[in-house]
Structure formats: C-alpha cells, structure tokens
C-alpha cells in the first residue's frame, strides 16, 4: 500500500488529496481544501464513491461526474475535472 498526497489550485479553491493506493486502486481517500460543496456531507459521499476506483484519469473523472449527477451537489467555482486533477496529481506524486 502506498500513501500519497497532492494538491491542485482550481479557479475558486485549493483541493488537497490524501490517498492510499494499492494494486492500482484507491483504497482510502481524503479530500479537503478551501472550496464549498453543497450539501456539505457530499464530500464524504464523494470519498466513498472513489474507493476501489482504478488509478486512471478517465475512471476517476467518470466516477466524479456520475457522483455529481446522482447526488445533485454544487461546488461553486470547482468542477469535476478539478477534483480529478487533484487526485491524479496526488497518485502520480506531483502537486502544485
């Protein structure tokens, strides 16, 4: 198991990600930062949704977009692509 972390500055906030990756899949993930998500408990649901996801930009983006549609969350100034970029940067070991 590998512990990773990274960050990404979106248009309206910084997204920080800490994750445990094993066998090419996200085992655990924590997402934090200076952005808003409504409803607030949506962030925990997003983290839960991402567990077990293959470490692939396409797979992660697909799960995040499906989460937005299913849960009807709002993240002013932050898009699904921003969360995906933060996660990819974390799992690839880079950040900005």
Q: What's 78's domain CATH number?
A: 3.30.390.50
Sheet of 13-22: strand order equals 2-10, 13-22, 25-33
Angle between helices 80-91 and 57-71 (to 10 degrees): 140
* 96 falls within a domain: no
* 33 falls within a domain: yes
* 80 falls within a domain: yes
* 67 falls within a domain: yes
* 11 falls within a domain: yes
* 57 falls within a domain: yes
* 46 falls within a domain: yes
Domain range for 16 is 2-91
**Rounded Cα gap, residues 14 and 65, in angstroms:** 19
* 28 falls within a domain: yes
C-alpha to C-alpha distances, 5 to 19, 39, 40, 61, nearest whole angstrom = 6, 25, 22, 18
Q: What is the pTM of this model?
A: 0.89
pLDDT at res. 96:
42
**Rounded Cα gap, residues 74 and 89, in angstroms:** 23
- The number of domains in the chain is 1
- pLDDT per residue rounded down to tens, the chain (96 residues): 788 888 888 777 899 999 999 999 999 999 999 999 999 899 999 999 999 999 999 999 999 999 999 999 999 999 999 999 999 999 885 444
């Amino acid at each position: 198991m590998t512990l990773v972390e990274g960050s990404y500055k979106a248009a309206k906030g910084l997204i920080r990600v800490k994750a445990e990756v094993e066998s090419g899949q996200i085992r655990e993930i924590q997402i934090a930062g200076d952005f808003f998500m409504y409803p607030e408990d949506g962030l925990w649901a997003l983290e839960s949704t991402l567990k077990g996801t293959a470490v692939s930009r396409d797979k992660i983006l697909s799960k995040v977009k499906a989460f937005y549609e299913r849960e009807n969350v709002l993240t002013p100034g932050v898009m699904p692509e921003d969360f995906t970029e933060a996660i990819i940067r974390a799992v690839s070991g880079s950040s900005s």
